[in-house]
Structure formats: C-alpha cells, structure tokens
Chains A and B, each alone.
Chain A
Amino acid sequence: MCSACGFPTTQGHWSEAGAGDAHQRVRARFIRARKLDAVLRRYGLTAHDDGLTPGLQISDRTGRVIMARDLRDVWIAVEKLLGRAIDPLDPHFLQEPGP
C-alpha cells in the first residue's frame, strides 16, 4: 500500500479531523455536546458530556442512559431510545413539540 502519495489523513472518528491540538479537541467536544443537547431536547432526550468520561451520555426521560463514543454512536443511541431515527430531511425536523 502506498503511503507516499496524497495528503496526511487523520485518525479516529472523521469529525475529529477538525481539531489539531488538545485545546481544539476540548473546545470541539463541548460545542458538539451543547448543540446535540439543544437538538435532542426537542425530542425529549438529552446529551451530556461531563468532561471526564470519554464520550457522551444520551438519556431519555425515563432515565435510560446510553454512552456514545462518537457521533456515529450518538445517532444509533438516539434511534434506540426514540424508536426511530431523527431524519434531518424530514419536513418536520426540529419542529417537534418541546418537552
């Protein structure tokens, strides 16, 4: 396998490519958690990053919690808790009644 052509690729989940150092990684982590929480609350779920445990905690109102390591895991967890996937192209996306 040739590793000489092309540009350097990044490791880990693809979304982590946007952060180069520890400071950027921490910042990215909290921006993501805040955004996710705001979106998921419309669907009766929450996202929480305590800053210590790696990953995000996705929970529903009955207290079920699923740990998600990365964004791929997040949407799998959301689908499990809601019983359906959140479809960003659904015309009602983000228009669900709040809690």
Chain B
Amino acid sequence: MSAVPKNRIRLLVLSGFLGSGKTTWLRHQLHSGLLRSRTVIVNEAAAAPVDDALLADLAQVRTISGGCVCCSKRDAFLRVLREHCNQSQPQDIVLETSGLAEPAAIVEAIRADPLLVHRILVEEVMVTVDALSALARLKHDALIRAQIETADVLVITKLDALEEDAAGRLAATLKRVNPGARIMGTVKGEEVALPDYANVAAEELPLLREIPAAGPIVAADIEIDPAVGWEVFSVWLSALLHARGDEILRIKGVVRTPNGRVLLQCVQKSVLPPEILPETVAADLSFDNRLAFIGRGFDAKRLKQSLKAFCG
C-alpha cells in the first residue's frame, strides 16, 4: 500500500453473508492491533444494531442501521463518509457491511461521488465465507456468489469446523468462483493454514441463471416484553428454530436475563455460544430485548403474533 497518494483515506470494505463472521474477524484484528487507528463504520440491515456494541471498546465506531448502505442507506453512508473526510486528520476506515450488501455497489457508489472519489481509496474488498454453510449456499444463493466474486481477499471463517478434505474442496471451489482472490483460513479471527488445495477438485456449481429466484429476505425487529422472561422466550425460540431453522438466516440481539445481558446469535439453526455482555459495553441500552430476525418465509407481524400467543 505504499502507493497511496497523500490525503487519500484508505477504506477497507469488509463484507460477507449473514453470520459469516465479519464482526468476529474485525474484532480480532482490532484487538490484536492490526487495524490500528481506523474508524469503523458498521452497517446493519436490521434496525437494532449489535455489532457496534461489540466493537465500541476497540475503535471509534459509527453505525448505520435499518438498511444496506449499497441500496436504501446509500445516501446516509455517503453523508457519513463526507463528514469523515471533513475532519482535520481523518483516520483510515473499515466498513463492515450488512450481510445482505453487495460490495460492488458500495465501491461503485463511492466512485460515482464527485467529492469522495478524490478522497477515498478503496483499498481492498474482504469477504468472509462461513466454512459450514458456504458450499450449500453457493448452489442456491445468487447474493453470496456476487459477494465472493467481488472480493480481493476471501476469509474462510470457522475453519476448525471442517475436516481437511472438506476445507480443501471449499477453497478450491472459491478459487474457481473468483480466481483472482487471495484465500485465507481463520478460526475466531486468527489466521490458520489452509490445506494444500492446488490439486483438489472444485464443487460443481450451477450457473447463476439456473439458480431459482428465492423469496425476498426480510429483516424483522422483535421486541421481547421484559415480563415474558428469558426462560419462556427460550422455549418459544427453540421451537421456532426447530420448525423454521432453514428459513431463518440470522437472529441477533441482546436479551436481558437473570444472569445479565446475553448476546444471542443464531446462524440458521445453529445458536452460537451466547456471550455475557458487561452492563457498560454499549452506550445505548435501549436496544436491549430487541432481536433482529433475518430470513425468508416469515414477516414481523407473524413473529410477533406467535410470540404473543405463546407467552400470553
């Protein structure tokens, strides 16, 4: 990066599908000092942001929630960037996109802006790839294909969840989808060696036009009445995950429990080990007990009705 012209602010775009490990990767880089002195812009599709709370202690964070910066929140994003450029000594930036964003559209938006095009240098597009679900998703989902195709660097996350031959097959398949990208493996943000995949056969993928159009992905914000309590809520959620796990792409949010603030995150059927957050981590506790549900085949109204009927 020695050729960065003076006065240009470097922007690292960190993208990747819902639950693929963007925040975990970023959190580790910030923690270990690899992305020192960067301003982090976090974009979340849901209205209740969570990622900013996880990063707040590590960097200066600005949040744009309630839509993707590649489409509905594009103007808000460009405004934030312009404000940032107007500072006397602006820091370089990491943009953590929402899991539904198309990185190419973001890069294009910056290029099309007469001011930002001279001030911001898009350094790299990094895309996190979930070792567990990426291969299956590549066959059915055009969005993840678009994300992977636009990456300069592909970061395979949760690599410890795969056997060596499966990891090799995934890397070989990614190489075929995007031959120009550098591919690396990580576990909880830390780089680990990939198996040698030079001679591994890539998985056969359908052509993009052969992938049937899926229903729209919706983001619903569900508020949990404090009177309901964690115990009853967890019974409802476990039933929902059992019956609808394939349609739920992502659930995340902070729930108040007798044991404190619990960060709950699901990627499809699998629930990540919940983290216990300190009371002070987020300046804004008003988003507690609000969960973002992202997926297909349901809407906010039905989720709310179901939760109410169950807990009533």
Contacts and interface: CB of A to CB of B under 8 A. Distances in A.
Contact of A14 (B27, B259, B260, B274): B274
A79 B242 CA distance: 9
Given A18-B230, A35-B231, A89 B242 contact: no
Contacts of B27: 5-6
A interface bracket (residues with beta carbon within 8 Å of B): 35 or more
A7 B187 contact: no
Contact of B243 (A7, A9, A87): A87
Given A14-B264, A85-B242, A24 B309 contact: no
B232 A10 contact: no
A32 B234 contact: yes
B303 A89 contact: yes
Contacts of B273: 9-11, 14, 17
A18 B231 contact: yes
B310 A18 contact: no
Interface in B100-130: none
B302 interface: yes
B244 A89 contact: yes
A14 B271 contact: yes
Interface of A: 1-11, 14-15, 17-20, 24, 27-28, 31-32, 35-36, 39, 71-72, 74-76, 79, 85-89, 93-94
Closest 9 interchain pairs by CB?
A18-B257, A75-B242, A5-B31, A71-B238, A18-B230, A20-B259, A17-B274, A15-B234, A9-B273
Interface of B: 24, 27-28, 30-32, 54, 160, 187-190, 229-232, 234-236, 238-240, 242-244, 255, 257-260, 262-264, 271-278, 281, 298, 302-303, 306-307, 309-310
6 contacts: A5-B30, A5-B32, A7-B281, A17-B273, A18-B262, A39-B310
